[in-house]
Structure 1
Amino acid sequence: MRILKMNRLIWLPLIVFAAAIGSAAQNAPEVFKVDPPSWWTRSSLNPVRLMIRGKNLSGARVQALTRGFRVVGIPKVNERGTYILVDVAIAPIAQPGAARLRITTANGIARTSFEILAPLGRNGRFQGFSPADVMYLIMIDRFSDGDPTNNDPPQSRGIYDRKNKFYYHGGDLQGVIDRLPYLNDLGVTAVWLTPWYDNYDHPNQIELKEDKPSTGFHGYNPQDFYAVEEHFGSFAKLRELVDAAHRSGIKIIQDEVVNHTGPYHPWVDDPPTPTWFNGTKANHLKNVFQTWVLHDPRPVEELKRETMEGWFLDFLPDLNQKDPEVARYLIQNTLWWIGTTGLDGIRMDTWQYVPNTFWHDWTSALKREFPKFTVVGEVKDGDVVHTSYFQGGRVRDGADSGLDSLLDFPLFYAVRHAFAEGHRLDEVPKTLAKDYLYNNAEILVTLLGGHDDGRFMSEKGATLAGLKLANAFVLTTRGVPQLYYGDEIAMTGADEPTTRGDFPGGFPGDKRNAFSPTGRTREEQDLFEYIRKLTRLHTQLEPLKSGALINLYSSDQQYAYARTTKDAAVVVAINNDNKPITIAFEVGGARLVNGTRLADRLGSSKDVRVENGKLNVALPSRSAAIFVPR
């Protein structure tokens, strides 16, 4: 009995000790992810704030174990022990490669790494865009399938189906690389790609389309802000695309989202801070889209709050940029994509729903690191008063947003009304007459179409002649002209997602290849050649890239204007009527002297000559002319 008792006394501490070890092992810290995963030396933003996601991180201490890499300050750990927010400084002497981090808690140690990068060379990168460019919007999934092996990736099986208009169709980054020669031939100098963020890996049961699950093929519902969607390729493939585009003389513009996340982002059920979102999945405001209150000096505060803090469609979690940690995360994320890939510009989604104070900090950080970089914001509204309110250069809502450019939706609607629907053409110069409301109208992005609107050729009354005229105007007026993929061959599609149709010939098994002249119909080829002629004139003629816009003539269905620089002038005349007409107008504003002879570079009108300070221009029905002095 004494031996048995002694054995019990010996074994009891061992059992307790083993249980303690087991408990500690069970509660040992684990690291799942580090954001950002890398950063470069000699950055204007230093230290960098890391978000380390894992479990059992309560009470964690973080140590940097690599020369030239150190932890700054005291880490912050959220209440659930699932996130660490910690600053790390990267010294100029730090060598590119893996930097080691050790995370210690009372229950154990976890190790992870962070990549230190050499900064990318500036030559040919971070260029920005300007009115000298011709921009081309591509929805990645619907443009060209260059790598069928990523159509149904192992981590996201079952959401590729070309017969399902709401599923992935196979377009990818390799497809864009493959079509760079086509874009060069068309005259494109900048490509805007819809978001390439990693979206959810399964059907979306929250957002039903036609009573069926949808997917994130469009890219606007990110579940990881630091990863490339596997259906599109990899980060390495993105780098390859940017470099290949730059070698081809084409800039790359990223489509970014900072207003919201996708509904399946890990943050939704486990936010890094209590105020990471405006509301929670169970308790939040629904966005009412009453955007007029945003520039109202006497706003209805409830409406303003619902518009700024409400969740899009009642299910897209609204990020709270007033939380300093959210703001820091988003600012770093933008800088990371630019700094690691060499991007040239950003198109920012849903600009008006994010506070101006955040935008001020965001654009300031961006311009410090990349001074030539350009940003265009989406403010989808047809009212110039409303749209112009959001351009940078003036203090609004307590801060100057610093925004360079806007998508010119007021002009977009006027152009659609006139050239597609047959309304009065003078709606166009009347819209342009409000340019004084913008801080800089010359940098606005002028467009005919986009992925959120029905295509031009699906408008009631649209014709190929009208589409030609609309392109002639967009490619000769002030601003940065933007084309939408497929409009150069008159693709149709009245609503989502048919407006996001597959480019014919971009996918295995397509019956024809419209990337090639032999795969286009006669009408498509005629339109393609017309637009290509316009893009080349835009590139060749300096007044179309940088000249002042001067109105010369306006009536119900005719419009003439000049683009002038110090040394040159171009005169554009448009007849939107179904019958030919001769118009006469003074050209003194274009500084064209008597006797100057001008030729139509589009070839639809005869040469004209300045007489008594005027031009008499004979225009065929539904035609445009671009007159250049001989």
Structure 2
Amino acid sequence: MNLPNSTEGNWSRRFAKATGREIRGERLRDLTDTCGRTPKRELDNIHIGAGQRMKRRLYFALLLFFGAIALMASTSSVRAEAPEVLKVEPPGWWAGHSINPVRVLIRGRNLSNARVEIRGEGLRVGAVTPNSTGTCLFVDVEISRLAKPGNRRLRITTGTESTEANFEILNLLARAGRFQGFSTDDVIYLIMTDRFSDGDPSNNDPPGSKGLYDRSKPRYYHGGDFEGIIEHLPYLKDLGVTAIWLTPWYDNVNHLNEREQYPDQPNGPRRRITDYHGYGAVDFYGVEEHFGTLAKLRELVDKAHQIGLKVIQDQVANHTGPYHPWVNDPPTPTWFNGTAQKHLANVWQTWSVRDPHSTPQVQRETLDGWFVDILPDLNQNDPEVARYEIQNTLWWIGVTGIDAIRQDTFQYVPRTFWRDWMAAIKREYPKVNVVGEVLDGDVAHTSFFQGGRARYDGVDDALDTLFDFPLMYPLRRAFAAGKDIRELPRILASDPLYPNANVLVPLIGNHDLKRFMNEPSATIEGLKMAQTLIMTMRGTPQLYYGDEIAMQGGDDPDNRRDFPGGFPADGINAFTTRNEKQRSVFDHQKLLGQLRAEFEPLRRGNLLNLFATEHQYVYARNTAKDSVVVAFNNDTKPASAEFNVAETKLANGATLKDRLGSVPDVQVRNERIKFELPAHSSAILVRK
């Protein structure tokens, strides 16, 4: 049946007003037929009087009205299902990379049944896999080796609706002076970015995360940033540092952390905190705005390299922060080990990981448990998680030019993942190395995690090196508490348990432990002896910011006090002006750095124990051509030491000079040397 022109025009206008679309002619008549559900040929055969025609017109008007509503609902539904992109990870990649195609994780809404196309040359889309909730797409993007750097557009289409997101072909950074790794020639300096120096007050209270800055509160942001570190690179160079390790710079939550509450002081009321420390990531590709921008971070790395300093990134593969968007919307059902509502709490039975007698269920309580029952534990046994984390590591190396990685909570992640992760790093950046955190004083346990040897499970995790916590604890007991110094060579006797103990990272302390000067009975003299030990011991020494000026600090967060002089309101500036105690420790540390750089045996020599009593300890560092002797007297009174040096390169008649100034010149006689050390002192004897 044909509607009169006036009726057709009337309903066409109503439909256009209701839906924003105009329908004319045959389309409107077809719609009328469809909505009326009465064949035209049947209606044409019916004799209709005037009244009946009016009723029929009203009837079809109602049908058109409800049909328009149905179309409006359908249109609204289509619009509601339009795809939306919230995040593209990684946001870019390189042509000619060892990983190709790169697996791109697109997070958003309404992504089920999405099609992905690329606008721009040099890229091709492979597999596209949505998750079950339509909030994530895994997209394989293949990049031609000839693809030129620059932006491309990903077009995501569902039904008739589409949206676009940016994806960049990144510029390759020149390899010269970057991606260098660290070695025993280096001295590492740990910086907690928020507590070192405030070089840019404008980012102290950023618009997107206001209210988290308050220097009077130990668990709030205090203003330290990348610019502050840049300003004090010359200070670090003067101290003898050659590599800086920065705590994580991932973007953290922009509000107070309600789920983790701790007292500011022991036994005080529990308070909400911020994630100023960087270990509560909500965006693994973002930079914490309190610290600066990605551009400022790259400037920091470049300026460090320009004066001969390497940069070590602190990465966290084990967990996210409690507010990461994945927690409530994981990209895959097995992205985490459990959910926020149902998961294992970590029981800290770390020995079970290396125990061939442990059951898988017991090991899971450590490997899969959530730290403090709060931090979501990533499941590296999920192939998508493993690939995401491998790509994330390589992205950070490639976009910043860093030289090495410190990996947090290493022992809580499956070693099969570390094996694959390390292999991916070495394929692309052969010199970049990794130091893992295994916070344990047991050599048998710690050594299990160094690479170079397959263990009972047949896995070699390939980790380059570890922090030497087993040496740190007796070091503190000896030099802070005055305990038997022979505990040090006893620990060193277990070095063969490591695949390579010569590359370990000895330390006095870090940001997870109370400072040396807060140990009972700690003294300036004891701290200086501890400095001498780690700067002359096998491996690569690691300093903690502020220890060079004898900073104090108890348990977390007191061990993370602001560096004096790094903040505009500070009344003193230890970067330039130091009191007598600070100057004594600083000058000693600086001299040790100079001696380490000057004498190859202190960096590369084999360690040979020469003499040990309850309070005295002497060892040599030997190379093929030279030897340096290092001696300690931990007694409260002067003490003599006499010992054989036949296994060193020190010939009879050689005269040795103590470069620390503790003892007069010493001569080798009958392959022996003898000298007296003052109380609580150390000596470094070199050929005169």
C-alpha distance in 2 between matches for 1:552 and 1:63: 69
Alignment partners' CA distance in 2, 1:208 and 1:18: 50
Contact 2:626 2:650 in 1 (8 A): no
Q: Secondary structure at the match of 2:506?
A: strand
Q: Is the 8 A contact 2:111 2:134 kept in 1?
A: yes
The residue identity in structure 2 corresponding to 1:537 is: L
- Spell out the pairing of 1:14-33 with structure 2 (5 A cutoff): 14-33=68-87
- Contact kept? 1:464, 1:527, Cα under 8 Å: yes
Rounded Cα–Cα distance in structure 1 between residues aligned with 2:262 and 2:381:
33
Partner of 1:551: 609
The alignment status of 1:97 with 2:150, answered yes or no, reads: yes
State the Cα distance separating 1:17 from its structure 2 match. Answer: 2.8
The size of the alignment, in residue pairs, is 627
Give me the whole-angstrom Cα distance separating, in 2, the residues matched to 1:448 and 1:242.
26
Shift of 1:12: 4.6
2:362 corresponds to 1:303 = yes
Structure 1 residue 218 displacement after superposition: 0.5
533, 536, 544: which is aligned to 1:476?
Answer: 536
> In the alignment, which residue of structure 2 is the partner of 1:581?
639
Match 2:114 to one of 45, 60, 68? 60
Match of 1:181 in 2: 234
**Secondary structure, aligned partner of 1:298:** coil
Which one of 402, 417, 426 corresponds to residue 358 of structure 1?
417
Q: Which residue is equivalent to 1:508?
A: 568
- SS of 1:297's partner is coil
Q: Superposition pairs for residues 306-321 of structure 1, below 5 Å?
A: 306-321=365-380
- Structure 1 unaligned residues grouped into runs of 5+: none
Deviates more, 1:82-91 or 1:389-398: 389-398
Gaps of 5+ in 2: 1-53, 264-269
Residue correspondence of structure 1 range 95-134 to structure 2 within 5 A:
95-134=148-187
TM-score by length of 2: 0.90
| Structure 1 counterpart of 2:545 | 485
Cα contact 1:195–1:255 (8 A) shared by 2? yes
What SS does the aligned partner of 1:445 have?
coil
Deviation at 1:578, TM superposition (A): 1.1
Q: Deviations over 1:194-213 (max 9, x none)?
A: 00011111111111011110
Q: Deviations over 1:130-170 (max 9, x none)?
A: 11101000000000001010000111111110011110000
Which residue does 1:205 correspond to in 2?
Answer: 258
Q: Which position in structure 2 is the counterpart of 1:419?
A: 479
Matches within 5 A, 1:232-271: 232-271=291-330
Q: Give the AA of the match of 1:365.
A: A
Check 1:306–1:65 CA distance in 2 against 1; reply closer, same or farther (3 A cut).
same
Task: Describe the SS at the equivalent of 1:446.
Answer: coil
Using the TM superposition, give the Cα deviation of residue 108 of structure 1 relative to its aligned residue in structure 2, in angstroms. 1.1
- Paired letter, 1:399: V
1:354-376: per-residue Cα shift (whole Å, max 9, x none)? 01110010000000000001100
Q: Secondary structure at the match of 1:454?
A: coil
Q: Show CA shifts across 1:271-292 (max 9, x none).
A: 0000001111111000000111
Structure 1 residue 11 displacement after superposition: 4.7
1:107: how far off? Answer: 4.8
Matched, 1:347 2:416: no
1:463 aligns with 2:495: no
Equivalent position to 1:191, from 237, 241, 244: 244
- Select 1:438's aligned residue among 483, 498, 520: 498
Rounded to whole Å, the distance in 2 between the matches of 1:87 and 1:417 is 54
Alpha-carbon distance in structure 1 between the residues aligned to 2:315 and 2:303: 21
Displacement after TM superposition at 1:267 (Å): 0.4
Q: CA deviation at 1:9?
A: 4.7
Q: Distance in 1 between matches of 2:494 and 2:436?
A: 19
User: Match of 1:41?
Assistant: 95
Say which is worse superposed, 390-399 or 97-106, in terms of deviation.
390-399
Cα distance between partner residues in 2 of 1:526 and 1:14: 86
Q: 1:449 aligns with which of 509, 520, 536?
A: 509
- Distance, in Å, in 2 between the alignment partners of 1:380 and 1:287 is 15
Moved more, 104-113 or 546-555: 104-113
**Separation in 1, partners of 2:445, 2:678:** 37
Matches within 5 A, 1:548-627: 548-627=606-685
Q: Distance in 1 between matches of 2:82 and 2:336?
A: 29
Higher relative contact order (CA 8 A, sep 6+): 1
1:329 aligns to what SS in structure 2?
helix
State how far apart, in whole Å, the 2-side matches of 1:129 and 1:567 are: 24
Cα contact 2:110–2:135 (8 A) shared by 1: yes
2:395 aligned residue (326, 333, 336): 336
CA–CA distance in structure 2, aligned partners of residues 416 and 229 of structure 1: 34
Pick aligned residue for 2:345 from 267, 286, 290: 286
Letter of the 1:87 counterpart: D
Residue identity opposite 1:60 in structure 2? A
* Pairs within 5 Å for 1:371-390: 371-390=430-449
What secondary structure sits across from 2:536 in the alignment?
coil
Q: Which region of structure 1 is more displaced relative to structure 2, 332-341 or 98-107?
A: 98-107
Taking only the aligned residue pairs, the percentage that are identical comes to 58
Preserved CA contact (<8 Å) 1:42 1:119 = no
Partner Cα separation in structure 2 for residue 9 and residue 272 of structure 1: 45
User: Once the two structures are superposed, what CA deviation does each residue of 1:68-118 show, in whole Å capped at 9, x if it has no partner?
Assistant: 111122x11111100000110111111111111111112511111101112
Once the 2 structures are TM-superposed, how far is the Cα of residue 398 of structure 1 from its aligned partner? Answer: 3.4
- Residue 5 of structure 1: how far off its partner (Å): 3.8
Aligned partners of 1:454 and 1:79: how far apart in 2?
Answer: 47
Superposed displacement of residue 581, structure 1: 1.2
Distance 1:502 1:177 in 2: 17
Contact conserved, 2:349 with 2:366, CA < 8 A, in 1? yes
Give SS of 1:625's match. Answer: strand
* 2:590 equivalent to 1:537: no
2: distance between equivalents of 1:72 and 1:536? 55
The structure with the larger Rg is 2
CA distance in 1, matches of 2:171, 2:250: 24
Q: Does the CA contact (< 8 Å) of 2:625 and 2:649 recur in 1?
A: no
1:76–1:84 Cα contact (<8 Å) kept: yes
Q: How far off is 1:545 after superposition?
A: 1.0
Matched AA of 1:271? P
The structural deviation recorded for 1:10 is: 4.6
Contact 1:547 1:563 in 2 (8 A): yes
Deviations 1:394-433 (A, max 9, x none): 1233321110000100001011110011101111111111
CA distance in 1, matches of 2:346, 2:380: 16
3-state DSSP of counterpart to 2:470: helix
Bigger shift: residues 59-68 or 377-386: 59-68
Question: Residue 153 of structure 1 is aligned with which of 171, 190, 206?
Answer: 206
In the alignment, the residues of structure 2 paired with residue 535 and residue 256 of structure 1 have an alpha-carbon distance, to the nearest angstrom, of: 27
Asked if the contact 2:616/2:631 (under 8 Å) is kept, the reply is: yes
> 1:128 offset after TM fit, Å?
0.2
Matched with 1:51 is 105
Tell me the secondary structure at the aligned position of residue 592 of structure 2.
helix
Equivalent-residue separation in structure 1 for 2:534 and 2:60 (angstroms): 94
Letter in 1 for 2:368: E
Query: Which deviates more, 64-73 or 272-281?
Result: 64-73
Question: 1-side partners of 2:126 and 2:360: how far apart?
Answer: 40
Instruction: Please give the root-mean-square deviation of Cα atoms over the aligned residues, in Å.
Output: 1.1
| 1:163-189 deviation line (CA, Å, top 9, x unaligned) | 111100000111110110110110100
Deviation at 1:300, TM superposition (A): 4.3
1:408 aligns with 2:468: yes
